[in-house]
Structure 1
Amino acid sequence: MRTIVAMEDAPRLDSWLAQQCGVSRSAIKQLILAGKVSLNAKAVKPSQAVMRGQTFLVDEEQKPSDIIPEELPLDIVYEDEVLLVVNKARGMVVHPAAGNHKGTLVNALLAYSSANLSNVQGYDRPGIVHRLDKDTSGLIIIAKNNQAHRHIANQLAKRSLVRIYHTIVWGQMEAKTALVDAPIGRDPQNRQRMAVTASGKPAVTKIDLIEQACRGAHLCCQLTTGRTHQIRVHLSYIGHPIVGDVVYGKNKPTIYRDGQLLHAKSLEFIHPVSGKTISLSSELPPEFDFVMGYMRGERED
């Protein structure tokens, strides 16, 4: 039995659930019609809408994991009996997918704690409650059991889990604070990208200026929603793409070639067992100092 919590609204259950489970829409439809998907202990329909915060039970056969555990370095900033918080390195993919079967965070987690990881997201994503892009570094929460997983996922769905990111962008900010409220969906011109589009899903990013330099700025961004590539898309949308972002920041100088300079610096959430508020923070990568030196005009390379 698999539990899946809706982090956002969706027009059709079968399409949304197929995405979540990584299978075809027809396969999910068969499960639904066979009564193997339920909401609040009641049967559901393939065409019904999905509302953020709903919890679905899916009775699907779990395949044994074929992911190979790997002894990879993990920067653990917090650990107890039900949770693990890792400071993910830039360049590390969170879970295996096409073209990335080794060297992922999941490979490392299986070697570190294979017997103590949730399976809510399926055999191929043990412990994974939320994700970070490959080239985004910073804090990510790992659940050691399904109860903790659902508790954290519910906080994400209710938008009570605080996520703070730091980044460096191009250009002069017009104000010290900004609120970008612009819907995000698939780019109609390129389905591999996301874009601000009227048909997209609600997306809100709060921005605070930390330092303005002559060429760019150091920003603090807080997610209210959690759309794919949200911070990258919103900052590009307002004319301040992230340094190193080759997808949303084209035609900018290549002073940093290792992907978008975006770091998930801090998290605040309610502990699933104790009910206490947990606040965690991580150090900024050294690349931030290097790039801000360029932004201040202290170096030209």
Structure 2
Amino acid sequence: MNPTETHTVPQNLKTPIRLQEYGVGIFALIPTKSALKKALKKNYITVNEKPATTATFINGGEIIILSIPKDENNNKPKREFIFPLKVLFEDEYLAIAHKPAGILVSGNAFKTVANALPQNLKPSNLEDVTIPQPVHRLDYGTTGALLVGKTASSIRALNKLFEDKEIDKTYYAVTIGKMKELEGIIKSEIDDKESQSNYKVIKSVISQRFEFLNLVKLYPKTGRRHQLRKHLASIGNPILGDKEYGIENLVLNGKGIYLHAYSLEFSHPFTKRNIFLEDELPQKFLKIFN
């Protein structure tokens, strides 16, 4: 028998919403937006007993059923990944956790932040509580503040904030080489989409191996894959420890990439409180710049 989950949509929806937006977080078997889209494409979801698509709208009162073939669900983790996470902020709706270096945020692997979240966060007491899920990604080697939704409605609302660019993020990176400008804007196309990162050099120190090491504050205006790494490499100042976009013979091995998600600022989608949170710089940054 195929693993199934059923969800009944409340009658009091304010406006119709696409299933691919509404359905994020309502099923434990497909907790992420990308997983939901894949399930829709594979016809694993029905609405009122009719196959659903990415064009299906939800109006209120529908019965949504997810049915995944048993053999496809065998790779799902059957137990939590026991891994302590530092929780920087938490309420009934959402949380912000520190992501360490050397661990994936989510995906098919067992050792991910997503699989460690349930035993690090307090369960929400709200009706639409679901398995807590990160609502954005940080690269494997990147450290810093990671935003997490704890309810189905919160996951949807936070995804919408990201889509509407209503969450301000700042990063710190250590770059190599002499930087021509102390501040600037980098624009390019990444994966056929426009991207923009603003930057400001905070401090530079002389380095025998790299000529200069620079502490750079970054303000990404879009969220493309590897955007900050690609942008800094494009101006000749790749991030220290970046093996993929670094300069040959100038890659620092064994210390990881020096990229840190430093702060998040946004209006809480439910309490309307302004949330501004900073995640302090890792020690490896401070060893270079005191």
One of 202, 208, 226 as aligned partner of 1:210: 202
**1:271/1:40 Cα in 2 relative to 1: closer, same or farther (>3 Å)?**
farther
How far is the alpha carbon of 1:116 from its aligned partner? 4.4
One of 128, 153, 163 as aligned partner of 1:157: 163
Q: Which structure is larger by alpha-carbon Rg, 1 or 2?
A: 2
1:66 alignment partner in structure 2: 77
Alignment partners' CA distance in 2, 1:149 and 1:18? 9
Q: Work out whether residues 70 and 110 of structure 1, in 8 Å CA contact, stay in contact via their aligned partners in 2.
A: no
1:240 alignment partner in structure 2: 237
Alignment partners' CA distance in 2, 1:24 and 1:127? 17
Q: Work out whether 1:82 is the aligned partner of 2:90.
A: no
Q: Work out whether residues 41 and 53 of structure 2, in 8 Å CA contact, stay in contact via their aligned partners in 1.
A: no
Q: Work out whether residues 87 and 120 of structure 2, in 8 Å CA contact, stay in contact via their aligned partners in 1.
A: no
How far is the alpha carbon of 1:229 from its aligned partner? 0.7
1:51 alignment partner in structure 2: none
Alignment partners' CA distance in 1, 2:39 and 2:159? 24
Alignment partners' CA distance in 2, 1:152 and 1:246? 32
**1:234/1:205 Cα in 2 relative to 1: closer, same or farther (>3 Å)?**
same
Alignment partners' CA distance in 2, 1:68 and 1:158? 35
One-letter amino acid matched to 1:107 = N
Alignment partners' CA distance in 2, 1:24 and 1:138? 30
**1:72/1:25 Cα in 2 relative to 1: closer, same or farther (>3 Å)?**
closer
One of 169, 174, 181 as aligned partner of 2:180: 174
- Once the two structures are superposed, what CA deviation does each residue of 1:196-232 show, in whole Å capped at 9, x if it has no partner? xxxx111111111111233121101111110111100
Q: Work out whether residues 203 and 216 of structure 2, in 8 Å CA contact, stay in contact via their aligned partners in 1.
A: yes
Equivalent pairs counted in the alignment come to: 248
1:41 alignment partner in structure 2: 57
- Once the two structures are superposed, what CA deviation does each residue of 1:127-148 show, in whole Å capped at 9, x if it has no partner? 1211111100000011110111
1:11 alignment partner in structure 2: none
- 5+ residue gaps in structure 2? 1-6, 8-17, 23-31, 207-211
Q: SS of the residue aligned with 2:232? A: helix
Note the aligned Cα RMSD (angstroms). Answer: 3.5
Alignment partners' CA distance in 2, 1:60 and 1:259? 43
- 5+ residue gaps in structure 1? 7-16, 43-56, 186-199, 294-301
**1:28/1:220 Cα in 2 relative to 1: closer, same or farther (>3 Å)?**
farther
Q: Aligned ranges for residues 195-234 of structure 1 at < 5 Å?
A: 200-214=192-206, 215-234=212-231
- Once the two structures are superposed, what CA deviation does each residue of 1:147-188 show, in whole Å capped at 9, x if it has no partner? 111111111001110010000011111222111110102xxx
How far is the alpha carbon of 1:21 from its aligned partner? 4.0
How far is the alpha carbon of 1:58 from its aligned partner? 12
**1:127/1:60 Cα in 2 relative to 1: closer, same or farther (>3 Å)?**
same
Q: Work out whether residues 37 and 58 of structure 1, in 8 Å CA contact, stay in contact via their aligned partners in 2.
A: no
Question: Identity of aligned pairs, percent?
Answer: 26
One-letter amino acid matched to 1:111 = Q
Q: Work out whether residues 77 and 110 of structure 2, in 8 Å CA contact, stay in contact via their aligned partners in 1.
A: no
Taking structure 2 as the reference length, what is the TM-score of the superposition? Answer: 0.73
Taking structure 1 as the reference length, what is the TM-score of the superposition? Answer: 0.71
- Once the two structures are superposed, what CA deviation does each residue of 1:64-85 show, in whole Å capped at 9, x if it has no partner? 8634213311111101111110
How far is the alpha carbon of 1:37 from its aligned partner? 2.4
